[in-house]
């Protein structure tokens, strides 16, 4: 007879559409978070401009650009103090917009990550319960627990800290580069000269970090499987006085997990210093080139300072994106491991012409049932 089962939509989806499957129910919250991301990005891009106004238009007494000068003179007046008040007000407004946008972006992404974790735990738990005993006899309990906890937590961390964080950094990077080209395209090309090397380094280490993360997760699952097997059979272990043997076995597995973890951490630790060196090289090039232009009188001090501030804002998203590599790879490995379970199909299946099972009353009747060990002599008839 056909078995009545609950709906498990996540288990029917291919592994390459996990973002759509997992995030689609939360599109409203993500849309609001996206609006907050745009506010955060715009505020971040505008932060250096009040400093340029103070240096060029107040200290060096240069005139404001046409539209900005009209706004300031129309609302605040035409003297230096009016320009200073405008710059101070701009700093305050930018800070408020940035704070409000950051709060809502963090709040909404945290909420979505918690709900996604809840959905994944339910789907995985329902699917595991409905696998046949054959699958359960071959599965490692500790590994399943790791997929239910650590792998789902890795996906939550990605949504919480990297999903929209990637978008923030990409938008900030694009906007900053656009403003830098507006200020000086030669400056910008000098600053961007190190980015090909930076992207090649990040790409190279991303592949190695993903491989290391997969090895760490596998070793954690194997170790926890051994712990689960011992704890569920502790009466047998104690009955045969196998405590010392199990201690040595666990110490060996824990040592292997430690070595794999240290190797993975060493791979991840190499990326950040290399990125810092490349970024420092780019800063040196821009600083040397810009200082020479300023000494020659080709650019103002305000332009040089603002460009250096934007240079820091351009390199910061690059640093952040490189640091997110670990979070992204862990989430990818976690999703692969979760899908390995969700895509398992039970070996015990209903026949095509099976009828739905009725409501049982507790009465079992054997009709034309027999059993034998050899096939010749029936034991039960």
169, 41 in Cβ contact below 8 A? Answer: no
pLDDT number for residue 4: 38
Domain-located, residue 295: yes
Domain presence at residue 260: yes
Return left, alpha or beta for 372; rule: phi > 0 is left, psi -120 to 50 is alpha, else beta. Answer: beta
Give 269-310 pLDDT, tens digit per residue.
888 888 888 888 888 888 888 888 778 777 777 777 777 887
**301 sits in which H/E element:** helix 301-342
Is there a domain that residue 154 lies in? yes
Taking the C-alpha atoms of residue 321 and residue 81, their distance in angstroms, rounded to an integer, is: 41
Numbers of helices and strands, H then E, in the chain: 14, 0
* Residue 28: exposure state from Cβ atoms within 10 A (0-12, 13-18, ≥19): exposed
Locus of tokens 């692969």: 336
Is a pLDDT exceeding 70 seen at residue 77? no
Task: Give the residue numbers spanning the domain of 150.
Answer: 12-342
Determine, yes or no, domain membership for 96: yes
Count of domains observed in the chain: 1
Q: Is the pLDDT of residue 251 over 80?
A: yes
At 60, is the secondary structure helix, strand, or coil?
A: coil
Q: What percent of the chain has pLDDT over 90?
A: 3
Assess whether pLDDT exceeds 80 at residue 72.
no
Give me the helix-helix angle, 164-183 and 80-129, nearest 10°.
Answer: 150
CATH of the domain at 175: 1.20.1560.10
> Is position 53 within any domain?
yes
Give domain status of residue 287, yes or no: yes
What band does 19 get if pLDDT is binned at 50, 70 and 90?
A: low
Other C-beta atoms lying within 10 Å of the C-beta of residue 5 = 11
The pLDDT of residue 2 is above 50: no
Q: Can you give the pLDDT at residue 16?
A: 45
For the cut 90, the answer to whether the pLDDT of residue 96 exceeds it is yes
Q: In whole angstroms, what is the distance from residue 219 CA to residue 222 CA? A: 5
Q: How far is CA 367 from CA 108, 376, 381, in A?
A: 60, 20, 10
pLDDT in tens, 180-215: 888 778 878 888 888 888 888 888 888 888 888 888
- The two tokens of residue 222 are 């194997």
pLDDT of 225: 79
pLDDT number for residue 32:
92
Alpha carbons 315 and 193: distance in angstroms, whole number = 12
Q: pLDDT grade, residue 66 (50/70/90)?
A: low
Q: Is residue 235 part of a domain?
A: yes
């Amino acid at each position: 007879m056909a078995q009545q089962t609950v709906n498990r939509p996540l288990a029917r989806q291919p592994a390459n559409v996990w973002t759509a499957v997992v995030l689609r129910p939360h599109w409203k919250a993500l849309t609001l978070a996206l609006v907050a991301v745009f506010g955060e990005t715009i505020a971040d891009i505008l932060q250096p401009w009040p400093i340029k106004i103070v240096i060029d238009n107040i200290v060096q007494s240069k005139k404001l650009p046409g539209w900005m000068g009209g706004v300031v003179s129309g609302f605040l007046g035409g003297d230096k103090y009016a320009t200073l008040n405008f710059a101070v007000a701009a700093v305050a407004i930018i800070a408020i917009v940035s704070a409000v946008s950051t709060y809502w972006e963090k709040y909404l992404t945290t909420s979505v990550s918690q709900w996604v974790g809840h959905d994944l735990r339910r789907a995985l738990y329902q699917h595991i319960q409905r696998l046949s005993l054959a699958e359960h006899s071959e599965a490692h309990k500790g590994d399943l627990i790791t997929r239910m906890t650590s792998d789902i937590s890795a996906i939550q961390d990605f949504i919480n800290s990297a999903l929209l964080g990637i978008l923030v950094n990409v938008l900030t990077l694009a906007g900053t580069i656009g403003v830098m080209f507006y200020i000086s395209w030669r400056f910008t090309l000098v600053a961007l000269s190190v980015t090909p090397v930076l992207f090649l380094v990040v790409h190279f280490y991303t592949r190695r970090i993903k491989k290391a993360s997969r090895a760490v997760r596998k070793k954690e699952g194997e170790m926890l499987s051994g712990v689960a097997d011992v704890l569920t059979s502790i009466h047998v272990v104690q009955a045969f006085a196998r405590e010392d043997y199990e201690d040595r076995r666990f110490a060996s597995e824990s040592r292997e997990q430690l070595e794999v973890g240290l190797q993975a951490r060493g791979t991840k630790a190499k990326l950040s210093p290399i990125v810092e060196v490349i970024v420092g090289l780019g800063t040196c090039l821009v600083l040397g080139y810009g200082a020479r232009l300023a000494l020659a009188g080709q650019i103002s001090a305000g332009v040089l300072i603002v460009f250096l501030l934007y240079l820091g804002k351009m390199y910061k998203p690059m640093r952040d994106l490189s640091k997110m590599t670990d979070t992204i790879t862990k989430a990818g490995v976690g999703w692969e491991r979760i899908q390995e379970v969700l895509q398992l199909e039970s070996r015990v299946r209903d026949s095509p012409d099976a009828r739905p099972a009725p409501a049982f009353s507790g009465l079992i009747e054997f009709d034309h049932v027999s059993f034998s060990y050899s096939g010749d002599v029936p034991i039960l008839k």
